[in-house]
């Protein structure tokens, strides 16, 4: 049995015509004698509409009920796509998380897949040509519905591909992975190949490429991912462990900006490593995104700076209050209107002078970064938001992206 | 533990404000020390919108997938209502058919409940004040989602009430059961009490009162039903086995019209009882609604007339072709544009002259019924559609409804 796993994003199943288009694409593969497992997201803006409805009903919707609500979107899609497939004489059957026993951790709104019963899939593929699976959702040990976080359908797809040892194709409204956002920079170049590591860095920097957990799983189980468009036949990008040898490796493979960063500064902390642990323990427990951490210390005091997402400010403040409850004299300040500008590339590991070219490009438009962090394959800088787009253009020119 | 089962229809949970209103009504009961099991339908027009979406995708949507699709509506409602309850500090938890193990027969789009695991409800009522249950849906022996037919949430509610031996309250946008449709006839009277049998007759005649299966179950397990409005505090109607003795029993308790009847006539059938059995066997297997059956026979021929719903004409034609496959000379004709006008009342059993008053009222506006059927507690007549409303008004006046 030749199995392919495919995933179609929300924009690919946004209305009846788009669903029929996806059904026809699937049919072509069935006629080539493949069996398909197809993972779908909720149609179009459905998830956003459901979140809006929830917020009208409750100022702070209970996560368990939020997952119960949001999981309906993907269930709609699987039913509708299965109908569309039957309409063109393809034997298809839909599955939700209960029916496929997609087991996850118990954390609502950000659960992780623990196991999927691939036997149910294999058994049904004997009778059906296409198994249509609701992405994004799972069941925890209490039989509660969980969800995997925005973009989680990618992870459902890769987890199933890993279980079935099948290739995985991720279809969306973008026809591959670009050096930078092609909607903003029309000269952006599409990668034919990119490594898991580069995609992970790009995703962690806010580029909406693939769900990070999906890429981690693909890397762990060595699943080749194809990212392509559901609306045309252009070639797409292969995400692989190592680039093919014939491919000349570029130094910098991508540049991104995120728009809603807040710089946080904690002054006058006592010089005590346990305080830092305490803060970051709380931060990780609440699943807050803290980034670009810089610590400076003098004789007996510490000064901490880092960036957080603006919308997490309130949660973050509680965390700090709790962690520093029994301390005095410390001082917390926020500094808004920043964007995080980053470049990524495996080539940076070996190519010298990348940081210097990065800062030179910024200085051309008089930007002195507020915070800087670097890793082996990435450099990020916090820059004033109103200059961020201009800065990105300089970077793109500098590195020929 | 004092348990009340409540059911709220789709119009009661159509938007955020209506959901909050329902939550506040529930809270009042919780503060009176009740534990509640609340069954909800899909919000407002959700089910209609989902059906429309399905029909855009497929000319003849697969019933299994239709149920998978439609079940999402109720799942939305339970999540949203649970959020709204928590927002006002009521401990609530939502359940779908998988989580409550609502077992049904395997027939998609018209399944019947076989069993519900009330232990799950009782266990959760130890911890929560309100259990919110998705109505209308169940699971068959293949772990497929099934639905119970339009209005099926009533049946979910009564089935749970029967299991818990609890009273059952059915809330909608109508504040009780009326002698005739109060939206059309402002002088319609509301019943304080009505019997299960009368409600069953009214429902089978097309009055949108309660899901018939719900009333059958209520009768079987002697569950008292209260039908009332979720939008005001007016008293509602109690549906009971026997009217209280102090209540003067009216002769006729209700009048209804259905709008889309087609008169079917089969001429020149051989006089053979097995043919009639054959037709009605096929009819019941396909779950078609055939009503008002009249049979006239001469020496060697039979003539059959009855009414069907207009939208079932195509299905019906196939049934007849199949049943009469090896016969010749028979002739099938349709006669459209009829409405079925009916009166119902347990009092008719004993009161003389009801039929004569019924026909006299019709003759006042020159109607000669095309077909007539009578039972102990009901009289139905097929009348020209354009005169149906006028006829209903005459009937209402005649019987003081």
The pLDDT, as a whole number, for residue A121 is 97
Residues B222 and B269 in one domain: no
The pLDDT, as a whole number, for residue B204 is 67
Is some CB atom of chain A closer than 8 A to the CB atom of B334?
no
With 0-12 / 13-18 / 19 or more C-beta atoms within 10 angstroms meaning exposed / middle / buried, residue A99 is buried
Residues B189 and B109 in one domain: yes
pLDDT confidence band for B312 (50 / 70 / 90): confident
Residues A329 and A371 in one domain: yes
Contact (Cβ atoms closer than 8 angstroms) between residue A258 and residue A205: yes
Q: Kindly state whether residue A248 falls inside one of the protein's structural domains.
A: no
Interface of A with B in 59-98 (CB under 8 A): 59-62, 64-66, 68-69, 71-73, 75-76, 78-80, 82-84, 86-87, 93-94, 96, 98
Q: According to the per-residue pLDDT averaged within each range, which of B214-223, B254-263, B288-297 is highest? A: B214-223
pLDDT confidence band for B245 (50 / 70 / 90): low
Domain boundary among A240, A271, A293: A240
Spatial separation of the C-alpha atoms in residues A226 and A85, rounded to whole Å: 23
Residues A161 and A308 in one domain: no
pLDDT confidence band for B151 (50 / 70 / 90): confident
What global pTM score does this model have? 0.72
Average pLDDT over residues B290-302: 75
Average pLDDT over residues B324-348: 82
Helix (H, G, I), strand (E, B) or coil at A7: strand
What chain B residue is nearest to A68 in terms of C-alpha separation?
B79
The pLDDT, as a whole number, for residue B113 is 94
Q: Kindly state whether residue A365 falls inside one of the protein's structural domains.
A: yes
The pLDDT, as a whole number, for residue B126 is 96
Q: Which residues pair with B170 in a beta bridge?
A: B7, B227
Spatial separation of the C-alpha atoms in residues B195 and B240, rounded to whole Å: 5
Average pLDDT over residues B52-67: 96
pLDDT confidence band for B25 (50 / 70 / 90): very high
Helix (H, G, I), strand (E, B) or coil at B10: helix
Residues A159 and A77 in one domain: yes
Element (H, E) at A46: helix A46-57
For residue A224, the 8-state DSSP code is -
Residues B278 and B338 in one domain: yes
The pLDDT, as a whole number, for residue A148 is 94
Give me the residues of chain A with pLDDT under 50, please.
Answer: none
Q: Kindly state whether residue B248 falls inside one of the protein's structural domains.
A: no
Say which CATH number the domain at A372 has. Answer: 3.30.2130.10
Q: Can you give the length of chain A in residues?
A: 401
Element (H, E) at A361: helix A354-364
Say which CATH number the domain at B103 has. Answer: 3.40.1160.10
What chain A residue is nearest to B96 in terms of C-alpha separation?
A68
What chain A residue is nearest to B49 in terms of C-alpha separation?
A76
Residues B293 and B176 in one domain: no
* Strand order from edge to edge, sheet including B301-309: B290-297, B301-309, B254-270, B331-344, B378-384, B372-375
Q: Kindly state whether residue B362 falls inside one of the protein's structural domains.
A: yes
Sign, Cα dihedral of B159, B164, B170, B176:
positive
Q: According to the per-residue pLDDT averaged within each range, which of A222-231, B121-130, B171-180, B305-314 is highest? A: B121-130
A53 with B86: Cβ contact below 8 A: no
B119-122 long-range contacts, CB within 8 A, separation 24+ = B120/B95, B121/B37, B121/B160, B121/B163, B121/B164, B122/B1, B122/B164
Structure-token match 């059956």, residue found: B293
Residues B50 and B111 in one domain: yes
Residues B67 and B198 in one domain: yes
Spatial separation of the C-alpha atoms in residues B319 and B315, rounded to whole Å: 6
Contact (Cβ atoms closer than 8 angstroms) between residue A125 and residue A115: no
Structure-token match 């197809």, residue found: A38
Contact (Cβ atoms closer than 8 angstroms) between residue A172 and residue A230: yes
A68 with B19: Cβ contact below 8 A: no
Q: Kindly state whether residue B247 falls inside one of the protein's structural domains.
A: no
Q: Kindly state whether residue B104 falls inside one of the protein's structural domains.
A: yes
Residues A125 and A194 in one domain: yes
What is the separation of C-alpha B33 from the centre of its chain, rounded to a whole number of angstroms?
Answer: 32
Contact (Cβ atoms closer than 8 angstroms) between residue A301 and residue A271: yes
Is some CB atom of chain B closer than 8 A to the CB atom of A332?
no
Mean residue pLDDT across chain B: 88
Question: DSSP states of B154-190 as a string?
Answer: HHHHHHHHHHHT--EEEEESS-S-BSS-TTT-TTPPB
| Nearest beta carbon to residue B53 from set A20, A60, A80 | A80
pLDDT higher than 80, residue B26: yes
Residues B372 and B233 in one domain: no
pLDDT higher than 80, residue B284: no
The pLDDT, as a whole number, for residue A314 is 85
Total domains in the fold of chain A: 2
Q: Kindly state whether residue B246 falls inside one of the protein's structural domains.
A: no
Could you tell me which residues come within 8 angstroms of residue A16 by beta carbon, excluding any fewer than 6 positions away? A80, B53, B56, B57
Domain boundary among B206, B240, B274: B240
Domain boundary among A179, A208, A240: A240
For residue B250, the 8-state DSSP code is P
Q: Which residues pair with B178 in a beta bridge?
A: B190
Q: Kindly state whether residue B146 falls inside one of the protein's structural domains.
A: yes
Residues A20 and A137 in one domain: yes
Q: Which domain holds residue A290?
A: 254-399
pLDDT higher than 90, residue B313: no
ipTM above 0.90, yes or no: no
Give the tens place of pLDDT for each residue, B154-174: 999 999 999 999 999 999 988
Could you tell me which residues come within 8 angstroms of residue A151 by beta carbon, excluding any fewer than 6 positions away? A208, A210, A211, A214
The pLDDT, as a whole number, for residue A344 is 86
Helix (H, G, I), strand (E, B) or coil at A171: strand
The pLDDT, as a whole number, for residue A265 is 85
pLDDT higher than 80, residue B384: yes
How many Å lie between the alpha carbon of A83 and the closest alpha carbon of chain B? 6
């Amino acid at each position: 049995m030749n199995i392919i796993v495919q995933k179609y994003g929300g924009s690919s199943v946004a209305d009846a015509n788009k669903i029929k288009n996806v059904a026809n694409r699937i049919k072509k593969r069935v006629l080539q004698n493949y069996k398909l497992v197809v993972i779908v997201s909720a149609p179009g803006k459905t998830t956003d509409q459901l979140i809006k409805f929830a917020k009208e009903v409750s100022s702070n919707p209970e996560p368990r009920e939020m997952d119960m609500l949001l999981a309906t979107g993907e269930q709609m899609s699987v039913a509708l796509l299965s109908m569309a497939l039957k309409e063109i004489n393809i034997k298809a059957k839909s599955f939700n998380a209960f029916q496929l026993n997609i087991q996850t951790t118990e954390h609502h709104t950000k659960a992780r897949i623990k196991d999927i019963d691939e036997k149910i899939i294999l058994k049904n593929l004997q009778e059906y040509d296409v198994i249509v699976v609701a992405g994004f959702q799972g069941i925890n040990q209490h039989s509660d519905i969980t969800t995997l976080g925005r973009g989680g359908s990618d992870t459902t797809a890769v987890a199933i591909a890993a279980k079935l040892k099948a290739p995985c194709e991720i279809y969306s409204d973008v026809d591959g992975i670009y050096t930078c956002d092609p909607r903003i920079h029309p000269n952006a170049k599409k990668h034919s190949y990119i490594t898991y590591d580069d995609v992970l860095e790009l995703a962690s920097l806010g580029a909406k490429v693939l769900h990070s957990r999906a890429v981690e799983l693909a890397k762990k189980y060595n699943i080749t991912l194809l990212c392509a468009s559901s609306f045309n036949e252009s070639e797409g990008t292969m995400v692989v462990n190592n680039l093919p040898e014939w491919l000349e490796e570029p130094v910098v493979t991508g540049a991104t900006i995120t728009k809603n960063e807040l710089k946080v500064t904690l002054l006058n902390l006592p010089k005590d490593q346990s305080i830092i642990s305490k803060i970051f323990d709380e931060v990780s427990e609440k699943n807050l995104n803290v980034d670009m951490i810089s610590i400076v210390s003098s004789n007996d005091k510490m000064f901490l700076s880092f960036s957080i997402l603006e919308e997490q400010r309130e949660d973050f403040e509680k965390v700090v209050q709790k962690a520093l409850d029994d301390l005095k004299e410390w001082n917390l300040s926020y500094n808004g209107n920043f964007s995080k500008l980053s470049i990524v590339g495996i080539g940076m590991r070996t190519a010298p002078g990348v940081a210097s070219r990065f800062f030179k490009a910024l200085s051309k438009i008089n930007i002195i970064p507020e915070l800087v962090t670097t890793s082996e394959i990435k450099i990020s800088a916090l820059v004033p938001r109103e200059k961020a787009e201009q800065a990105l253009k300089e970077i793109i020119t500098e590195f020929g992206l």
